[in-house]
């Protein structure tokens, strides 16, 4: 069941969210949902059973999400996003960073 869910998220849900990630830019009213989404995808990125294509999809989503959420009110996300983006630019592997609780 978990493998099917990983496959569904990586082939259907995350590509759509990656394509329309620019809508996250003005979604400050749903900050709890965005924080939950970030934590969920982060937990998905730590799965050992992901294939290379699934890891690439997760990585692409995290990069597009963090680029669209980089706004001043989200200072916690900014520090995570900038360090994650720096490491992803220098590495072809998926970066796994500890994500603090961003619910404020």
Cα 12–18–19 angle (5° rounding)? 90
Of residues 75 and 7, which shows the higher confidence score?
7
Q: What is the pLDDT of residues 44-84, one digit of tens each?
A: 888 888 888 888 999 899 888 888 876 555 445 555 555 65
Number of domains making up the chain: 1
Note down the domain range covering 39. 2-90
Distance, in Å, from the CA atom of 86 to the CA atom of 104, rounded to the nearest integer, reads: 25
Overall pTM surpassing 0.75 (yes/no): no
Question: Is 9 inside a domain boundary?
Answer: yes
Helix intervals (H) in 1-104: 2-8, 14-19, 31-45, 52-69, 75-90
Question: Is 101 inside a domain boundary?
Answer: no
Question: Is 103 inside a domain boundary?
Answer: no
Question: Is 98 inside a domain boundary?
Answer: no
Q: What is the pLDDT of residues 85-100, one digit of tens each?
A: 555 555 555 555 555 5
1 SS3 class = coil
């Amino acid at each position: 069941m978990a493998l099917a869910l990983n496959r569904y998220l990586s082939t259907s849900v995350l590509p759509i969210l990656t394509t329309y990630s620019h809508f996250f830019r003005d979604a400050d009213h749903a900050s709890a949902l965005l924080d939950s989404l970030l934590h969920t995808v982060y937990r998905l990125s730590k799965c050992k059973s992901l294939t290379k294509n699934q890891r690439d999809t997760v990585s692409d989503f995290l990069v597009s999400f963090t680029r669209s959420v980089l706004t001043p009110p989200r200072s916690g996300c900014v520090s995570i996003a900038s360090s994650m983006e720096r490491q992803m630019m220098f590495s072809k592997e998926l970066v796994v960073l500890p994500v603090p609780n961003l619910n404020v």
